[in-house]
């Protein structure tokens, strides 16, 4: 069986980095990582927690839930909201494929935008649901 989780994250990062709207918000190349550098620039988008479970379906599908977090130092929450909107638009049923695995369903199911307690950062936390299968 192929590494569905690794393939999904790899394809997702490449897909998000290739979006002009996200490049305008997150820099070019877009700061989208599954492991941030020691001193990350802001704003950025981090692929975090992931959960997966096999589906009892033809082709051995796998359901995934990924958490994406945008960190912003912009005064207010406008930048974090804009990143969340761009991510939502970019991933809606996107044709992701990598390493012999493709997404057959993909979308943002939840978004929460909020300020840190010290008001120095804004966060956008998004939850993605995806179903993958082997090509």
Write out pLDDT tens, residues 29-88.
999 999 999 999 999 999 999 999 998 766 679 999 999 999 999 989 999 999 999 999
CATH 3.30.2000.30 fits 4-134, yes or no: yes
Q: What is the mean pLDDT of residues 20-32?
A: 97
**Mean residue pLDDT across the chain:** 94
The answer to whether 83 touches 91, Cβ cutoff 8 Å, is no
Supply the DSSP symbol for 27: T
User: Quick one: pLDDT at residue 58?
Assistant: 67
CA distance 128 to 98: 18
């Amino acid at each position: 069986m192929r590494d569905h989780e690794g393939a999904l994250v790899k394809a997702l990062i490449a897909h998000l980095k290739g979006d002009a709207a996200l490049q305008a918000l997150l820099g070019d190349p877009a700061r989208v990582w599954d492991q941030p550098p020691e001193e990350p620039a802001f704003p950025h988008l981090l692929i975090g927690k992931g959960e997966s479970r096999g589906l009892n379906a033809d082709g051995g599908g796998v359901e995934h839930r990924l958490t994406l977090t945008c960190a912003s130092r912009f005064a207010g929450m406008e930048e974090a909201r804009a990143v969340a909107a761009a991510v939502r638009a970019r991933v809606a049923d996107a044709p992701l494929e990598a390493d012999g695995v493709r997404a057959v369903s993909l979308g943002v199911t939840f978004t929460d935008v909020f300020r840190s307690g010290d008001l120095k950062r804004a966060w956008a936390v998004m939850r993605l649901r995806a179903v993958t299968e082997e090509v």
